[in-house]
Structure 1
């Protein structure tokens, strides 16, 4: 199992719209082969910062599967306009 993570900095004042768009986008990623779960958490001390965590079977399920799919194009259309700056995505392996 691989854990994808990204810190999502949302443009000021756009958090409510981002949260609505994320609710709409969740089924797109959930339909992807190799997808296991998604968690989005809002920062306690920064109103426009979120932590995205997605569990995948492997990196290829995200990078070569979801990101190469039409669902990802829809995901981009729903969510990418909220980011400033664009998030960096990282992957983590098995827990210790």
Structure 2
């Protein structure tokens, strides 16, 4: 399992519109092969700052399967204009601490 983590900064005053748009496009990502779950968290200290966490079965399910799909183009069309600066996407894997 891979965890995609994205810190998002939404343009000032667009937070309500962004959350509405994100709700609407959540069905896009949740329909993709390898998708496990996702959540969007709103920062308490910084207005307009969000954390998106998405669990994927494999890295390629995100980087190839989703990012190179027509569904991603729709995701991008509906969400990317909200971000400034454009977010950096990072991927993490579980560390076994036992």
TM-score (norm 2): 0.95
Question: Alpha-carbon deviation of 1:69?
Answer: 0.6
What's the counterpart of residue 28 of structure 2?
A: 28
CA distance in 2, matches of 1:83, 1:91: 19
Does 1:14 find its partner at 2:20? no
**Following superposition of structure 1 onto structure 2, how do residues 69-80 of structure 1 map, counting pairs within 5 Å?**
69-80=69-80
Q: Deviations over 1:10-64 (max 9, x none)?
A: 0000000000000011000001000000110000111200000000001100000
Q: Which portions of structure 1, spanning 4 or more consecutive aligned residues, are displaced by more than 6 angstroms?
A: none
List runs of 5+ in structure 1 lacking aligned partners. Answer: none
Listed as ranges, the gaps of 5+ residues in structure 2 are none
Equivalent residue, structure 1, for 2:84: 84
Count of aligned pairs between the two proteins: 96
Alpha-carbon RMSD? 0.7
**What is the distance in 1 between the residues matched to 2:81 and 2:63?**
20
Deviation, 1:94, is 1.1
Secondary structure in structure 2 of the residue aligned to 1:68: coil
**Which one has the largest radius of gyration?**
2
Task: Compute the displacement of 1:95 (Å).
Answer: 3.7
